[in-house]
Chain A
């Protein structure tokens, strides 16, 4: 079982490495969107400090969503997806591996980069750990939920925009709890409650999303 998991993750990471510019686009998008906000709202430090958690989280949400469109598309086009569907390995396991690989390529870099962007917004130093922890717990949920949308919109007209319409409303709880962790920690109330809820959501999504992704893939590839 772990052999399947490892093989798929290795394959996806190798593919991502061979097409490095694709992953780089997601990361650059994240950096650029975050950097746009000071131009829009003005560079007043107190204001920037206040909006930093929300801005970074919303940008992470959008970057993650943008990277989802290609999640199954090329495999669907070249027939690799059909092989996965008819293969002996359980589909739930395959999609779990694919989501993990997707997160490692497009979620993890955002987590790593986030303190750098927080620096631009002069976020309080003590909040960096909370920012990284909340994104570390939250971005896998984004990949899990987003994969359901990617599977449902596979090969449809206007797939990208449709995906945004399907997935963004479902991202709301993650955004609220993730950005809320920083606000709560900033107000001196501690972030543990938010981080625990986020961990709970991750467990919930990890348990149910692979099943929904598998069902959606079978429907779309039929």
Chain B
């Protein structure tokens, strides 16, 4: 069987499915994403806190959404990406895909936690309670539990190959369940309590608000990419510590 190739611009991109080839590439990409994250985060926070106008309904407290909304987006998106890499890993049996999935999980869990925490900070002045059993808040909480389950399963399995593949199955089972969980929670919510203040009914966003949100979304994306690449490099080193190229890299004989 011949090797699969994907040649764009004289580079066979499938070469980077090998941990050895990906390690230096990831190392070269990290500074770019990290700087982009730092700059867009600083700019986004400045626009969000000082430039964007005060909301006439919610006052200053709405400004938490510049952190909350990008974090909530990332929390859901990262789970999808994790499931994507898990599926690729199970189908093509590529080790790097599993490593990517497990490198993404802690970042996803952190973003979920930030989304919940900032949601609660926003809820106190707006709803008058730290926690409301709102559909989005509740499904975010269950998403956090799903991340915890994924991380715990990975931590409990010593053997890397089993750990990789069983976590991949769990991620796929989770991703099938996420829409079911979301809609059942939404349904439960409408049955149990009246509609609460929702962002969708808020007046249309000012342009500066949108700019702040976009900058913060870019910051969240680039931060997630930089941190995951850094983590995947550590995982590669840990897994491949017996390989010759790692020995050369560390100057071991």
Which positions in A face B, CB cutoff 8 Å? 148, 152-153, 156-158, 162, 165-166, 168-170, 172-173, 176-177, 180, 183-184, 201, 204, 208, 212, 215-216, 219-220, 222
Of the candidates A162, A170, A208, the one whose C-beta lies within 8 Å of that of B152 is A162
Could you say which residues of chain A place their CB within 8 Å of the CB of B169?
148, 152, 212, 215-216, 219
In this complex, how many residues of chain B approach chain A with their Cβ under 8 Å: the count is 28
How distant is the Cα of A183 from the Cα of B189 in the complex, in angstroms? 13
B142 touches A220 (CB 8 A): no
Residue of A nearest to B169 (CB): A216
B184 touches A165 (CB 8 A): no
B177 touches A170 (CB 8 A): yes
B153 touches A162 (CB 8 A): yes
A162 touches B145 (CB 8 A): no
State the Cβ distance, A164 to closest chain B Cβ, in Å.
9
Which positions in B face A, CB cutoff 8 Å? 90, 142, 145-146, 148-149, 152-153, 156-157, 161-162, 165-166, 169-170, 172-174, 176-177, 180-181, 184-185, 187-188, 191
Could you say which residues of chain A place their CB within 8 Å of the CB of B191?
180, 183-184
Q: A165-B145, A169-B146 are in contact. Are A216 and B166 (CB under 8 A)?
A: yes
Interface of A is mostly: helix
Could you say which residues of chain A place their CB within 8 Å of the CB of B156?
153, 156-158, 162
Q: Known pairs A170-B177, A204-B180. 15 more at Cβ < 8 A?
A: A148-B173, A156-B157, A158-B156, A166-B152, A169-B145, A172-B181, A172-B185, A173-B185, A176-B185, A176-B188, A177-B184, A212-B169, A212-B172, A219-B162, A220-B162
Could you say which residues of chain A place their CB within 8 Å of the CB of B176?
208
How distant is the Cα of A204 from the Cα of B180 in the complex, in angstroms? 11
Residue of A nearest to B162 (CB): A219
How distant is the Cα of A216 from the Cα of B167 in the complex, in angstroms? 10
How distant is the Cα of A220 from the Cα of B168 in the complex, in angstroms? 12
Most buried by B among A148, A165, A176: A176
Of the candidates B90, B153, B172, B180, the one whose C-beta lies within 8 Å of that of A153 is B153
Of the candidates A148, A183, A201, the one whose C-beta lies within 8 Å of that of B180 is A201
Q: A162-B156, A165-B152, A180-B191 are in contact. Are A173 and B166 (CB under 8 A)?
A: no
Most buried by A among B142, B146, B149: B149
Q: A152-B166, A166-B153, A219-B165 are in contact. Are A180 and B188 (CB under 8 A)?
A: yes
